[in-house]
A and B are shown apart, each in its own frame.
Chain A
Amino acid sequence: MSLNVVVCVHTTNICIGNDPIQMNTNPIWIINPSDRSALEAAMNLQANYNANITAISIGGKDAVVSLNYCLGRGVNNAMHLEYDDEVSLDAYRIANILANAINDLLPDLVLCGDHGNDWNSSSVGPFLAEFLDLPQISHVTGFEIENHGRFLQTERRLERGGRQKVACNLPAVICMTEVSYQNTYVSVYRLREGSQRPREIKLISKQDEEEKSGVRLVEVSPIRTRPRRLSHPSTGLSAAQRMQFLMTGGFEKKQNVFEGPLEEGANKVISLLRESGFF
């Protein structure tokens, strides 16, 4: 069977400065980890089912980096949707651009990562699936193709180590979760080879009329803890300590060291567990 697979990748900028909004002069781009898992899954299909893999990325220089990586890894084709990378895109726009490009490729399977490490969003995959009007399965750890390439059997990751098997017919959108133990290392030589390989470049023009979004970004700041609700009022803490506990989100108080009768120690442990909701 010949399988037409599209993988959507993007890089995340590891922000080493103090302001992630400002463009660094020397950005450090790494492939978004869950996108990498999607790429690895696609390469497995290439190896085992002779699938035709097309990698797609949106952006400017960062997209060049991600496609070099994909080409070095061995995808069959690459498509660069070139967009002015000064303006950062929101998930809707990204999914729209991707959907338009992917529709022409008539894929059997669309793979992407389920989570972007930079802006912490899990939305592009489902948005893309909606715009393509395809079924979606997210948080996938692995999958198998059956029935001459028309049926997909996946395993999903749930909370607390839970798992679920979900299947669907192709075509579909699969959002892979980060699975590091299946990664293949791409050597620097391969990256260089990848950067030499040609790719299709499509220029994406800025939308004439930007949809005014109602929600606006107010600020980006270093993290601050938020107060946490308690289900059990603590018996072991004083009122002041309890207030501090609430204000610091419960766990910031460090170095609470206890040395004394074991009975009392055990009580302290249990009250901490209770307050935190673990028991």
Chain B
Amino acid sequence: MPIRQDFWDIPQPWGPIVIYSVMSITTIIMLWLWFRRINLLRYGVPVKWKDRLGLRFNNFLRDGLFQIGILRKRYPGFMHLLLSLSIFILFLGTIFATLNSHVYPFLKGNYYLVYKLILDVCSVLLVLGVGMAVYRRFVQKPKYLTTTRGAIIILLLIALIGVSGLLVESFRLAIQQPEWKSWSPVGGTLANIWQNLEVNQNILNNAYLFTYGIHLLSIVILMVTLPTGPMVHLLSAPLNIFISDPEHTMARLSPLQSRANGELIFSDGIKTLTQKQLLSALSCTNCGRCSEVCPAVLSGHLLDPQKIMLHIRESLDDVKGGSFSHPFDPQMMAQVWGCTTCGACENICPVHIEHLDIIVALRRALIQKGRINENLQKSLENMVSYGSSFGILTPIYQSWISELPFEIPDATKSSVDWLWFPGDITMRSPEYANISRMTATILHNAKINYGIFTNIENNSGNDIRRIGEEGLYDELVQRNLSLLQVGHYKGIFTTDPHTYNTLINEYPAKALMGKPVLHISQLLDQLILSNQIQFKNALGWRVTYHDPCYLGRYNKVYHPARHVLQATGCELIEMPRNKDFALCCGAGGGRFWMEEGALTERSSEMRLLEAAALQSVSRFITTCPKCYIYFSEASRSINLNETLHVADLVEVVHAAMKS
């Protein structure tokens, strides 16, 4: 009858006592170390997490237990699954064995056989997993994956545990020779090998004890190493996933925290970050997925989201009590200006780290201190004075409005169906004036009743928020609010995805009063579907489409522009990195107003080269003024403006309506 024997061949009575003591002590140490590390969170600002427990648990199951986020990348996802699942099952196996010994002996008969099979297979999977990891780190060598000494030690330990477990089993089976030894396939096979080699019983016995000891030792070492370094993610990552606001979206930034006395908290050090942000730093496994997709990293800027999390974790581990505020390294702080807030990092992070939140928090502190780039200062000051970053005394390119052969009604005076909320770039930028004019013309020709706030060109504030000037954002919202509440219109549309994002996600409800807000691509799609816009001929161009960050990744609006392109008769070839994975043009996050700094290659240029590699695509379509300006500039600087024409979606519609 197959039955499990407790401590087979272990010297009695001191053997089990030693083993239990060692394991108990190790467990206590491990728990204590874990507690100590997680307790570092007490230095941060507390957050609320006790609401919507159901949703939180759901997230925890999906990304913490089932690892859906990690599986987005096939090879490392599968490898991680193998490792984590195997360890978990093997751990369960030990628990079952302990229960079996001291509570109720249920591991007998078929249960025992299945138990052996599973454990045996898992041990093999464990070793396989380590093999995959070693291959990834030392053969594939992905660029942004950091291999530290700690990582190598952990892998070694895990491999040792797996191999020693199999060997221990094989030695026991070789001595005991039960009938059911084939229920441990690998262990049994090894046992046969020892038998065939006619290994002495004594040697087998000693080997068994020795390997048992190794097995125990490696487990002990692994257990005390788990709470250190990035391995703490075993505990911190699921916790982080649980604590994340289940309705969090990067499209809506969190407001500034304040203390009990009303004083605002600006994050320039460990003690001014929230506990959630500190927990994120502890959850980072340095997998490098964020670095791979970050436009700043790719263009050679010093900013690296992975390094920021690493810096925070290191600072956290160095924190001491008392009143020392533990400010961050000023050089690291200064790098946050390289962020375009494209959100690619947050989008791809498997453990729900909210990089944008942290970067904007750091920026808020820098703005409050006031030491910022001169160009940015000027733009912000212009906005404080006039609402528009272009200032009042620069030549007024509103002439594109005065050059129109028709008048655009003023939405504060006449009643219109649609309010066009253009934002300052659409109104003032000379490079975009042509597109603005076309937008006005096609809507006029389609007999759409729309209006604007004449002579007012306030920035909507989206990028101001991302720069960290919350105060200015409040002011802009107030100014726009008074206009929005006074105008007579049924819905709002905008040509700028940044404006779209903040109107939809961040403006107070009383500003929009329930009226729909559309991006121009959505409006055009609607108008085409309802036949208000009709095309004479199919254009037949081969085009590719760039998903603007604030339309695609932020608000998941991918299809309207694609519908429009197809409706105009263009043949759409998708970019290799499209939709959520589109590479940012580099203008977001306020970088449009900043000095560029030293870059090795602009992300806008890289993106165009990616498009140019597509077979005979003649046009690169985008629907964002910042993208348009940046890509036009890039195509001139890398001499692509002859072969790959950068065009706005509106240009395509305009051409289709004309022909």
Verify whether A and B have any Cβ pair under 8 Å.
yes
**A180 and B385 in contact, given A16-B392, A187-B469, A188-B469 (Cβ under 8 angstroms):** no
Cβ-closest chain B residue relative to A180: B374
Which of chain A's residues 169-203 have a Cβ closer than 8 Å to chain B? 180-181, 183-192
CA distance A192 to B370 in the complex (A): 15
A180 contacts across to B, CB distance below 8 A: 374
Contact call A188/B368, Cβ cutoff below 8 A: no
CA distance A46 to B257 in the complex (A): 29
Partner of A187, one of B368, B374, B393: B368
A185 contacts across to B, CB distance below 8 A: 367, 370-372, 376-377, 380-381
CA distance A103 to B374 in the complex (A): 36
In the assembled complex, B417 has its CB within 8 A of some CB on chain A: no
The segment from B166-174, B471-479, B619-627 found at the interface with A is B471-479
Contact call A184/B371, Cβ cutoff below 8 A: yes
**A14 and B392 in contact, given A28-B385, A30-B385 (Cβ under 8 angstroms):** yes
Which of chain B's residues 373-398 have a Cβ closer than 8 Å to chain A? 374, 376-377, 380-381, 384-386, 392-393
Q: Mark B284-324, 1 if CB is under 8 A from A, else 0.
A: 00000000000000000000000000000000000000000
In the assembled complex, B470 has its CB within 8 A of some CB on chain A: yes
Cβ-closest chain B residue relative to A30: B385
Contact call B474/A183, Cβ cutoff below 8 A: no
Contact call B393/A189, Cβ cutoff below 8 A: no
Q: Which of A28, A183, A185 has the most CB of B within 10 A?
A: A185
B470 contacts across to A, CB distance below 8 A: 188-189
A184 contacts across to B, CB distance below 8 A: 369-371
Contact call A188/B386, Cβ cutoff below 8 A: no
Q: How many contacting A-B pairs (Cβ < 8 A)?
A: 48
In the assembled complex, B18 has its CB within 8 A of some CB on chain A: no
B139 contacts across to A, CB distance below 8 A: none
- Min CB gap A213→B, angstroms: 31
In the assembled complex, B264 has its CB within 8 A of some CB on chain A: yes
- Min CB gap B93→A, angstroms: 58
B471 contacts across to A, CB distance below 8 A: 187-192
CA distance A184 to B470 in the complex (A): 17
CA distance A189 to B470 in the complex (A): 8
A189 contacts across to B, CB distance below 8 A: 264, 368, 470-471
A186 contacts across to B, CB distance below 8 A: 370
- Min CB gap A237→B, angstroms: 30
Cβ-closest chain A residue relative to B392: A16
Contact call B392/A28, Cβ cutoff below 8 A: yes
Contact call B374/A183, Cβ cutoff below 8 A: yes
Contact call A30/B381, Cβ cutoff below 8 A: yes
Contact call B367/A187, Cβ cutoff below 8 A: yes
B370 contacts across to A, CB distance below 8 A: 184-187, 190
Contact call B393/A14, Cβ cutoff below 8 A: yes
CA distance A14 to B393 in the complex (A): 9
CA distance A230 to B439 in the complex (A): 50
Total residues of chain B contacting the partner, CB 8 A: 23
CA distance A28 to B388 in the complex (A): 13
Cβ-closest chain B residue relative to A188: B471
Q: Which of A186, A187, A191, A192 has the most CB of B within 10 A?
A: A187
A16 contacts across to B, CB distance below 8 A: 392
Q: Mark A230-259, 1 if CB is under 8 A from B, else 0.
A: 000000000000000000000000000000
- Min CB gap A41→B, angstroms: 15
B385 contacts across to A, CB distance below 8 A: 14, 28, 30
Contact call B474/A181, Cβ cutoff below 8 A: no
CA distance A188 to B367 in the complex (A): 10
Cβ-closest chain A residue relative to B470: A189
**A187 and B472 in contact, given A14-B392, A28-B392 (Cβ under 8 angstroms):** yes
Contact call A188/B472, Cβ cutoff below 8 A: yes
B392 contacts across to A, CB distance below 8 A: 14, 16, 28
Cβ-closest chain A residue relative to B376: A185
Q: Mark A39-81, 1 if CB is under 8 A from B, else 0.
A: 0000000000000000000000000000000000000000000
Contact call A188/B474, Cβ cutoff below 8 A: yes
CA distance A213 to B377 in the complex (A): 41
Partner of B386, one of A28, A183, A187, A191: A28
Cβ-closest chain A residue relative to B472: A188
Cβ-closest chain B residue relative to A73: B370
- Min CB gap B523→A, angstroms: 32
B380 contacts across to A, CB distance below 8 A: 185
CA distance A190 to B475 in the complex (A): 13
- Min CB gap A192→B, angstroms: 7
Cβ-closest chain B residue relative to A14: B392
CA distance A14 to B392 in the complex (A): 9
Contact call A183/B472, Cβ cutoff below 8 A: no
Which of chain A's residues 102-140 have a Cβ closer than 8 Å to chain B? none
- Min CB gap B370→A, angstroms: 4
- Min CB gap A258→B, angstroms: 26
CA distance A215 to B469 in the complex (A): 47
A188 contacts across to B, CB distance below 8 A: 384, 469-472, 474-475
Q: Which of B370, B377, B393 has the most CB of A within 10 A?
A: B370
CA distance A162 to B534 in the complex (A): 65
Which of chain B's residues 15-71 have a Cβ closer than 8 Å to chain A? none
CA distance A183 to B376 in the complex (A): 12
- Min CB gap A26→B, angstroms: 11
CA distance A245 to B220 in the complex (A): 93
B381 contacts across to A, CB distance below 8 A: 30, 185
CA distance A30 to B391 in the complex (A): 12
- Min CB gap A23→B, angstroms: 17
Contact call A190/B374, Cβ cutoff below 8 A: no
B386 contacts across to A, CB distance below 8 A: 28
CA distance A28 to B393 in the complex (A): 12
Contact call A190/B368, Cβ cutoff below 8 A: yes
CA distance A188 to B387 in the complex (A): 13
A191 contacts across to B, CB distance below 8 A: 384, 471
Given A185-B370, A188-B474, A188-B475, 16 extra CB contacts under 8 A: A14-B385, A14-B393, A16-B392, A28-B386, A30-B381, A181-B374, A184-B370, A185-B371, A185-B377, A186-B370, A187-B367, A187-B469, A188-B384, A188-B472, A189-B368, A189-B470
Contact sample, A vs B, 20 pairs, CB 8 Å cutoff: A16-B392, A28-B385, A30-B385, A183-B377, A184-B370, A185-B367, A185-B370, A185-B372, A185-B376, A187-B469, A187-B472, A188-B384, A188-B469, A188-B470, A188-B471, A188-B472, A188-B474, A189-B470, A190-B471, A191-B384
Q: Shortest 7 CB-CB distances between A and B: which pairs?
A: A188-B471, A184-B370, A189-B471, A185-B370, A188-B472, A185-B377, A187-B367
